[in-house]
Amino acid sequence: MQMATSDSFENQEDSMVGPSKLIAELTKIGAIGTQGMPTVLQGIHECLEIIDWATHKLAADALVVLASYSGPLITNETSPIIESLEACCFDKVKPVRDSMMEALQVWKKISDKGDTAIP
């Protein structure tokens, strides 16, 4: 069976750019703040539990964007995300593995900053 053009990796990767840009814009303008962050993180965490590779990549890319723009808002909620990223970093699809590793590195940096904060 031949893979339809809409199912190709390139097309799926192009469709994933939009949500990451949306998250970036929402965090830049402060639309995702302290109160909304746990809900956003829970939704992304659930995406990491889905078996679909495209969903994994999208979730990892979204986590990188969130960490870049909203790091101070998420320093206390890194452990469950890091555990999920570690579990997903051995994905069969190389671009997904790369995104997972990038997200894992960024989230570990945020976690380290949270550990050094004054109580």
**Segment 8-51, tens digit of pLDDT:** 444 444 444 566 666 666 666 566 667 778 888 888 888 888 88
Question: What is the C-alpha separation between 10 and 73, in angstroms, rounded?
Answer: 33
CA angle, corner 112, sides to 109 and 113, nearest 5?
Answer: 90
> What pLDDT is attached to residue 29?
59
Token pair recorded at residue 36: 């909304």
Helices marked H in the chain — which ranges?
9-28, 37-48, 53-70, 78-88, 94-115
Least confident of 20-34, 50-64, 76-90: 20-34
pTM over 0.75: no
> What pLDDT is attached to residue 117?
41
CA angle, corner 15, sides to 99 and 40, nearest 5?
Answer: 65
**pLDDT(91) > 80:** yes
By C-alpha distance, which of 38, 19, 115 is closest to 80?
A: 38
> What pLDDT is attached to residue 67?
84
For 13, list phi and psi in degrees, rounded to 5: -65, -40
More reliable by pLDDT, 81 or 112: 81
By C-alpha distance, which of 77, 87, 88 is closest to 111?
A: 77
